[in-house]
Amino acid sequence: IFCSAVFLHLLISVLGTSSKTVPVKVDDDLANAISRIQPNFGAYLKRAFTNAHISRNDVNEGMPHVIIDKTFFQDNSSDVMIKNLRTIKSEFPRLTSIKADMLQDILVLSVDFGALSLDCEYEIINRDVMSLLPVSSVGLLNATIDSTKAQGRVGYRIMGDSLQAINFDVEYKIGQIHLDATYSRSGQKMHSQSTRSSIDDTIFKGVRRDMERYFEKQLKDHLNYLLEDVSLNQLFNEDNDLIRKFVVRGQTRTGMANELVDLFLDQIRRMIYQQGFSEIKLDDFKKSFFWVIIWGAFEAKEGSARNLSTIYRTGDFSLHQEETTVTIFGSLGLEELSCNYNQYWAHLWGIGPSGKIAVTTGKNSVKFKIVSDGWITSLDDICKIIDLDFQVERI
């Protein structure tokens, strides 16, 4: 359902009813004030970010942080389980560049997160040879990433007299990774080392999204620590009229972005309901395992996912214009997602239970972004859309 082609089709229906998606006009006095304040504001953020690790006493740099408790995924012909993935040593992120756009409530930035050391427990089974002799590996894995760099934009909102970072449209480039594995084979403890130029060449590619979410949380926490100290009264020299205009401008931009997204989601919910997509079928699932003296299998059939029509906007969206390119970005979620399998079998040594499975989750997040070449004001502008991104963050 949530592919770009379907979104584009839905967006056509939405734009036919939207008429307020136009650039926000800015008062001349406010524009002049921002042109004076903006360079110093960006310079302040970069300087404060650089010095933050010295002044902050509530952050324990390098302290272990659990990224994943346990996850399972399939990589080509292998079943992979990673447990207790945690950071061992990390560096304080360094802001290499930042450009503040106070007219749009946007920070365009680049960040260097430095080196990161991780460790985890892992299990791998190659399913291709399961019927003959499984190739398996169980052990501990240490990894060191040389550096991770990020570049993109962050949307912030006005919170009383200060600011708060809320939306992130950032790309992460994870550098060279060094691996050190300890595992058992035929009762003997083995050890191996390797270096890969890309995380996608390692088993960590299955948890790349989780690692990017870790980096994003670090960036968000550090930015908000600084933005909380930003005072609109100080920025505008206690000029209440300018502050009022600045706040109204921000509310208008946010409302405009939210309105378009809400219209879009309303159309999605209607189409899901009308076409019977509130419940969709899930593929049957089967996993077999075999260790030295233990073997078994798990199989589930007749699966379905429900409540897809409960999709909603989880917060304010941000809007950013660069020359003629307009980007609207933020987060969506499902109020409730239910997954069911009418039949399951779980066997160990050929013995085990069977029955039905029902799982419900309310914790999920999806990043959504629309990019257009120019402002979208009517159905005729649909050709201006140049990118539509829908990325699952967490289920």
Q: Tell me the per-residue pLDDT of 34-65, one tens digit each, with 9 for 90 and over.
A: 999 999 999 999 999 888 766 554 444 557 88
Q: Which of 175, 245, 178 is nearest to 208 (CA)?
A: 175
pLDDT more than 90, % of the chain: 43
> Mean pLDDT throughout 291-311?
60
| Farthest CA pair distance, the chain | 78
- 44-238 matches 1-22+240-395 in CATH topology: yes
What pLDDT is recorded for position 270?
Answer: 78
Q: What mean pLDDT comes out for the span 177-187? A: 84
Q: How far apart are CA 385 and CA 14, in angstroms?
A: 13
Gap between the Cα atoms of 210 and 390, Å rounded: 16
Instruction: Give the domain ranges of the chain.
Output: 1-22+240-395, 44-238
Percent of the chain with pLDDT over 70: 67
Q: Are 256 and 24 in contact (CB under 8 A)?
A: yes
What is the CATH topology of the domain spanning 1-22+240-395? Bactericidal permeability-increasing protein; domain 1 (3.15.10)
pLDDT surpasses 90 at 292: no
Tens digits of residue pLDDT in 250-285: 999 999 889 888 887 887 777 766 766 556 566 665
The CB-based long-range contact list for 266-272 (8 Å cut-off, 24+ gap) reads: 266/14, 267/10, 267/13, 267/14, 268/10, 268/309, 268/311, 269/309, 269/311, 271/10, 271/13, 272/1, 272/308, 272/309, 272/311
pLDDT at 132: 43
More confident residue, 218 or 382: 218
- Domain 44-238 classification at class level: alpha beta
In a 13 Å sphere around the CA of 204, the CA atoms on its Cβ side amount to: 30
Q: Which helix H or strand E contains 330, and what residues bound it?
A: strand 325-334
Is the pLDDT at 92 greater than 50? The verdict is yes
Q: Whole-prediction pTM value?
A: 0.80
159 φ/ψ angles, rounded to the nearest 5 degrees:
-125, 95
Round to whole Å and give the CA distance between 115 and 93.
Answer: 10
Task: Give CA–CA dist 279/336, Å, rounded.
Answer: 12
